Every structure is written in structure tokens, then in C-alpha cells.
Amino acid sequence: MKIVSGRRLEQWRKQARQAAIAADLSPDEVDWILQDLSEIDRLDLRLGTFADRDRIALHVDLEELDRLWQKRIRDRVPLQYLTGVAPWRNFELSVSPDVLVPRPETEELVDVAIAATRRTKLDCDRGIWADLGTGSGAIALGLSVAFPEATICAVDISKAALAVARRNAEKLNCDRVQFYCGSWFEPLEQYREKLCAIVSNPPYIPSGEVPKLQPEVSRHEPHLALDGGEDGLNCIRQLVRMAPQYLQPGGIWLVEMMAGQAGNVVELLEQQGSYRDIQIIKDMGNMERFALAYSPDGV
């Protein structure tokens, strides 16, 4: 830990907030990085009481803190990559440029999954789940907390992403999460017709749209986890086609998707012919965000 005076840190904070405004960023981001990289809490920042303290502990020295902040201003590096952490649901995840920054709407995906278990006779509380394209492990860990007696198979094609997910599982003591490296269902051959549910936040951005995303995303987040092919549906097509071979009767199929894709996803599910009770669920922003379906003969 590095020690700095409250007065000196307050001077840095004022300059950093001014720089944020000039760069069209929220000045509140300065306080977020200070909360993550120092012993100061939100109340200290709001009241300004930290400025009167002689000694404040920082995880990095003030020069390194300023260097990180300049990367945010100049290069638009996501704040979560700078601090290495991202709050999500009721826990804090480690993140790196090898994984997407977990989004608030994906928190809702776990809630939809929990609600979906009420419409199947399967014992999902003790069943086998698959989180396909796990990235940081956010969804798998959210499911593990919700269903502590279930087995969660977290799959990703990226070894680097899985390393991040494993660290998060260890940090949260989620020992019922199992990690598999491979493409979608490829490493889950032993679970054919055994899964109670598959849940995924797959790449769904059309290839031509990825470079047009905000710079925090297009420059820094892994395109492997963003690019869904020409129409954004390549990965969802695979999940629609392959899931019936792995789900038990009555099993849950649940994915996150891009606004505007709902009609196409419903059509894919209907044409495949192995799903029932297909529905589209809106997120808290009233966007059609989640597609839910069940394999037949389970209710």
C-alpha cells in the first residue's frame, strides 16, 4: 500500500474531475476509481472529509493512479479494466481485457433463469446447468449462488477468459462450477440429454456494427465475445440447433440477444421444431433482451 495525504489526494481529485468533464466523461468515474484503489468510501468522497486526513492508503502510488486515469481519458479504456474489478449482482468480479465487462442487463438473465425453473418439473436446484461463453464467469457464478447444490458447467473457447473465470470462482468459493475449454457444447459430450438448462450471453453484434460501437467497447473489449457474424445470429443459430441434443425433456433454453433480434430468434426456434413455450422477455429498460424456450415433454 502507498500512503498519501488527504489534501494532496483532494487536489488530484479536483483536477481529474475537471479532465473528465473536458473529455465528456462523467466526473463520478473519478470517485469510482478512488473507491476501488484506495481505502476511501463513498461517504468520505461525498462529504469531502477524506481531505482532512493525514494518511490515506492507496493500492498504487499517486503517479500510477494518474497514469491509469490518463488512459481512461486518452484511450477510453474501460474503468473496470483499469481497476481490475467490476461490481455485478451482489459480488465483485475480477475482469481483464480477455473478458467482456459484465453488463447490468446480464444480471437480469440470472433472474430470468431462476423464474424459468418454476415452469419445469426438472429438479434444477440440483441439476446440471451449462453457461456457454462464460467469459468472466459472471452468469455461472450468479447461477451457483442461486442454486448452490447444482452443478454449473462454464464453457469458453478462450483459455485466457477461463483463467479469469476460475479466479472469480475461487474468490467466491463457488466450488460447484466446473470449467471447460472449447466451442459451445463441444467439451460437454458426457452431458448429452443430461442438462436441465443452458444459459448464454453469446456474441450477437453484427460484424459490421462492432467497429461502430463506443470506443470503450470497440477498442478494448474482446471481439471474439462481441462479433456474431454478418447478421449477429451465427452463435445463436448454433445454440438453437445443438441444444436439443443436450437438454433433458423440459430443459430450459435461455439466451441474451440484441434489441431488434427477437423476431429472428423466435423464427429460428420455431423452425428448429424442438422447442415449446417460446417467449421473449424484456429487460428493465423495456428492450426485448432475452429469449426463453423449453424442450418438449417436461411439464
Contacts for 198 with CB less than 8 Å, ≥ 6 apart: 129, 130, 132, 239, 243, 246, 247, 251, 252, 253, 254
Which pLDDT tens digit goes with each residue over 1-33? 889 898 999 999 999 999 999 999 999 999 999
Mean pLDDT of 70-81: 96
Structural domains present in the chain: 2-75 (no CATH), 96-294 (3.40.50.150)
- Would the pLDDT of 87 be above 50? yes
Q: In terms of Cα–Cα distance, which of 96, 92, 99, 103 is closest to 36?
A: 92
pLDDT at 245 (0 to 100): 97
pLDDT at 47 (0 to 100): 85
Which pLDDT tens digit goes with each residue over 171-205? 999 999 999 999 999 999 999 999 999 999 999 99
Contact of 235 with 180, CB cutoff 8 Å: no
Mean pLDDT of 205-209: 97
- Provide the mean pLDDT of the chain: 95
pLDDT-based confidence at 51, cuts 50/70/90? confident
pLDDT at 232 (0 to 100): 97
Cα distances from 62 to residues 53, 77, 128, 261, 298, in angstroms, run 16, 19, 47, 46, 59
pLDDT at 219 (0 to 100): 96
Cα distances from 254 to residues 239, 247, 297, in angstroms, run 10, 12, 17
Mean pLDDT of 93-109: 96
Q: Can you tell me the distance from the alpha carbon of 158 to that of 164, in angstroms, rounded to the nearest whole number?
A: 10
- Would the pLDDT of 299 be above 70? no
**What is the DSSP annotation of the chain?**
-EEE-HHHHHHHHHHHHHHHHHTT--THHHHHHHHHHBS--HHHHHHTGGGG-S-EEESS-HHHHHHHHHHHHHH---HHHHHTEEEETTEEEE--TTSPPPPHHHHHHHHHHHHHGGG-SS-TTSSEEEEES-TTTHHHHHHHHH-TTSEEEEEES-HHHHHHHHHHHHHTT-TTEEEEESSTTGGGGGGTTTEEEEEE----B-GGGGGGS-HHHHTTS-GGGTB--TTS-HHHHHHHHHGGGTEEEEEEEEEE--TT-HHHHHHHHHHH---EEEEEEE-TTS-EEEEEEE-SS--
User: What is the identity of the amino acid at 173?
Assistant: N
- Would the pLDDT of 36 be above 70? yes
- Full-prediction pTM beyond 0.85? yes
